A = this chain, B = another copy of it.
Amino acid sequence: MKLYEKLANSLRQQILQGFFQNGDRLPSVRSLANQYKVSISTVQEAYRHLEMESLVEARPKSGYFVLSNIANYSLPETSRPPQRPLDVSQWEEVLNLLLAKGDKDCTQFQHAMPIMEGASLKPLLKKLTELTKRNADLSLPYGDLRGIADLREQLVRLTFNSGCLLHPDDIVVTSGCQEALTVCLRAVTSPGDIIAIESPSFYGSMQAIKTTGLKVIEIPTHPETGISLEALELALDQWPIKAIQVTPTCNNPMGYSMPEQNKERLYRLAQSYDIDIIEDDIYGDISYQFPRPKTIKSFDTDGRVLLCSAFSKTIAPGIRVGWIAPGRYRDEVTHIKYVSSSMCPTLPQLAIADFIKTGGYDRHVRRLRQEYQQSREHFIKALTKYFPEETKISFPEGGYLLWVELPKGIDTLQLSKEAKHHKIHIAPGSLFSATGKYRNCMRLNFSEQTMAIREDGVRKLAYLIELTLSRKV
Contacts of A191 in B (CB 8 A): 190-191, 213
Kindly state the separation between the CA atoms of A85 and B442 in the bound complex, as whole angstroms. Answer: 49
In chain B, what residue has the closest Cβ to A98? B145
Select which of B99, B145, B210, B339 is within 8 A of A145 by beta carbon.
Answer: B99
With A128-B132, A132-B129, A191-B213 as contacts: A320 and B338 at CB distance below 8 Å:
no
Kindly state the separation between the CA atoms of A139 and B102 in the bound complex, as whole angstroms. Answer: 15
> Are A318 and B178 closer than 8 Å at their CB atoms?
no
Name which of A340-348, A361-369, A452-460 contacts chain B.
Answer: A340-348
Contacts of A320 in B (CB 8 A): 341-345
Residue with the highest number of chain B CB atoms closer than 10 Å, among A133, A138, A175, A335 = A175
In chain B, what residue has the closest Cβ to A145? B98
In chain B, what residue has the closest Cβ to A102? B141
Interface residues of A in 137-163 (CB under 8 A from B): 138-143, 145
Interface residues on A, range: 35 or more
Kindly state the separation between the CA atoms of A348 and B99 in the bound complex, as whole angstroms. Answer: 20
Encoded as 1 (CB less than 8 Å from any B CB) or 0, chain A from 309 to 326 comes to: 000000011111000000
A-B contact sample (17 more), CB < 8 A, given A129-B133, A178-B342: A91-B335, A95-B334, A98-B145, A125-B132, A125-B136, A128-B132, A139-B316, A140-B317, A142-B317, A176-B342, A182-B340, A190-B191, A204-B338, A207-B338, A211-B336, A317-B342, A320-B343
> Are A179 and B340 closer than 8 Å at their CB atoms?
yes
> Are B140 and A182 closer than 8 Å at their CB atoms?
no
